[in-house]
Amino acid sequence: MLRGGIPIGRVFGISLRLNYTWFIVFALVTWSLSTNYFPLAFPDWHWSTSLIAGIITSLLFFGSVLAHELMHSIVAQRLGIRVHSITLFILGGVSQMTEEPKRPIDELRIALAGPLTSLVFAGIFYAILLWADPRYDFVSAITFWLSLINLSLAVFNLIPGFPLDGGRVLRSILWWRNQDLRRATKIASNIGRGVGYLFIFGGVFLIFQGLWLNGLILALIGWFLENTALGSYQQVALLDMLHGHTAQEVMTRDCPPIDPELTVDTLVNEHVLTIGRRCFPVTTDSRVLGLVTLHDIRAVPRTLWTTKKVSEVMTPFANLKSVSPDDELSTVLRVLTEEDINQVLVVNNGDIVGIIGRDNLLSFIKLRGELSV
């Protein structure tokens, strides 16, 4: 759900995106502020004043959420963890990090960076509220709400349920005590799932009390927490399963090279259908030019198969992603996932020594799961 979105820029090398669901919650927050909070607190305001205040407040609120997530990412990058992107969506924001922290203290620092940032913003907005002239109730109204919501954001995120920041703090403590990331993640995730179910039940209760919007949002937050907590543990368990295993263990070594002058029709009939391979290195004079896959073939209209050459439809070698034979399978999984590709080359000293497809990796994972090793 969070892979897509609208790019809005880059900060510190991190891609910033707006998921399409963000516009839903932005509209809901603006509508709630403009039609309920501001008119009730300041009944003498014109409706247009409430609307403008609602839009400004919503923008500053989501700017605060972005700063919260950005601080997580900045600390992670300082600790050597690459952050691919930050996405704002219907329930806040999420940072896509390429790997788990290496040490419990690193996890603790990353986790606390967000709530501390929200507390700082709460203090800044409260200071503006105290400093502003009471006659300027427009500024006072906005800063009061933003101070309160940032304080609430910090407190909410410190709930000890994974993947909330408080849950990550708990995981770091458990990890430090038992020196087992997988076990610590399982405990923190189970607590996170429990918190998620409580939110869902609370949301359903509010809906039956007639507070359908608040109840729906609370239940949606609970559903997200429960699913993310479970998925987070499964991800850590998967990485633990792959730990210590390298690319050369699962790669396909038999990679028959093909000539770039072959037509697509010849490639399909004499190689794909007879050998059963899904991808082929394209070489000439022992030099690798690129890789042609079933995806490349499907992109060519059937009527052009007899005239299109492999060299015209292949992916050039310079554009291919590769790993070394000694890279861990967790690295292979990360490359396949981040680049959204179905296979990755295994290259040693400039030579292709194998290919790893998603099916190779999935078969390895399934086999180890069945053997419980």
> What pLDDT does residue 198 have?
93
Asked if 171 contacts 188 with a C-beta cutoff of 8 angstroms, the reply is yes
pLDDT computed for residue 331 by the predictor = 82
Average pLDDT over residues 207-217: 85
pLDDT higher than 80, residue 351 = no
> For tokens 């210590």, what's the residue?
244
> Which pLDDT value is given to residue 75?
94
Tokens of 190: 């189970």
The end-to-end CA distance of the chain, in Å, is 31
pLDDT band at 373 (very low <50, low <70, confident <90, very high): low
For every residue of 146-179, DSSP letters joined together read HHHHHHHHHHHHTSSSTTSHHHHHHHHHHHHHH-
Alpha-carbon distance of 239 to 162, in angstroms, equals: 18
* Radius of gyration in angstroms for the set of CA atoms belonging to the chain, rounded to a whole number: 26
| Nearest CA-CA partner of 86 in 163, 27, 12 | 12
Three-class secondary structure of residue 369 per DSSP: helix
CATH topology of domain 247-371: CBS-domain (3.10.580)
Sequence letter at residue 23: F
pLDDT at 245 over 60: yes
Question: Using omega within 30 degrees of 0 as the cis cutoff, is the peptide bond preceding 257 cis?
Answer: no
- Average pLDDT (322-347) is 82
Integer Cα distance of 339 and 317 in angstroms:
15
For β-strands 92-97 and 83-89, DSSP reports them as antiparallel
- pLDDT band at residue 143 using 50, 70 and 90 as cut-offs: very high
DSSP state, residue 103: S
pLDDT at 371: 66
Strands 279-284 and 287-293: antiparallel
Based on the number of CB atoms within 10 Å of its own CB, is 53 exposed (0-12), middle (13-18) or buried (19 or more)? Answer: buried
The overall average pLDDT reported for the chain is 85
> Where is pLDDT greater, at 140 or 84?
140
Q: How confident is the model at residue 3 (pLDDT cuts 50, 70, 90)?
A: low
Buried b (16+ CB within 10 A) or exposed e, 73-95: bbbbbeeebebbbbbbbbbbbbb
pLDDT at position 122 over 90: yes
pLDDT of the residue at 216: 85
Q: Backbone phi, then psi, for 292, in 5-degree steps?
A: -115, 130
Q: What is the predicted pLDDT for the residue at 106? A: 93
Residues 6+ apart with CB under 8 A from 362: none
Could you give the CA distance from residue 138 to residue 42 in angstroms, rounded to a whole number? 9
Q: For residue 12, give every residue at least 6 positions away whose Cβ sits within 8 Å of its Cβ, in sequence order, or none.
A: 70, 73, 74, 77
List the chain domain ranges: 6-242, 247-371
Are the CB atoms for 264 and 304 separated by under 8 Å?
A: yes
Beta strands in the chain (DSSP E): 6-11, 14-18, 83-89, 92-97, 279-284, 287-293, 315-316, 322-323, 343-348, 351-357
Task: Tell me what pLDDT residue 1 has.
Answer: 43
With contact defined as beta carbons under 8 Å apart, do 346 and 325 qualify? Answer: yes
pLDDT in tens, 38-66: 998 888 889 999 999 999 999 999 999 99
